[in-house]
Amino acid sequence: MAKDGEGQQEKAPGNGEEKQYYMPIPAGTPYSVIAEAVNRFGVELTEKEVIVPGIGENETAPLTWVLVGSRESLEKAHEFIVRKMTEMLERFR
């Protein structure tokens, strides 16, 4: 998750809604871990354009998956994903 709010804020709150932030999904994260994080922490899986220098006018920017939700939910989802990935890597030792 980006530190110091850098690039995190996605949507401004409206009518009493909580601010929404985004967190890029680390490359190689299994779909099962992503789905469990989405269901467990009430975050949303969506796509966001990746900013790549040198993309011309007629070229489309690549997309990446991100989780969207409150800061607290994303922090919990991040910890969960890191823990699950660490457990998976430990099996290969």
Domains of the chain: 19-51+59-91 (3.30.1370)
What's the pLDDT score for residue 8? Answer: 53
Mean pLDDT of the chain: 84
Cα-flanking dihedrals φ and ψ of residue 23, to 5°? Answer: -140, 120
| Phi then psi dihedrals of residue 87, to 5 deg | -60, -40
Residue written as token pair 């989405």: 38
With a cut of 50, list the residues of the chain below it in pLDDT: 1-7, 10
φ, ψ of residue 83 to 5 degrees: the values are: -60, -45
Supply the pTM of this predicted model: 0.73
Tell me what pLDDT residue 56 has: 73
Q: CA–CA distance from 35 to each of 65, 73, 80 (Å)?
A: 12, 14, 12
Q: Please give the pLDDT value at position 6.
A: 37
Q: With contact defined as beta carbons under 8 Å apart, do 64 and 25 qualify? A: yes
69 bridge partner residues: 21
Contact criterion met (CB below 8 Å) for 70 and 19: yes
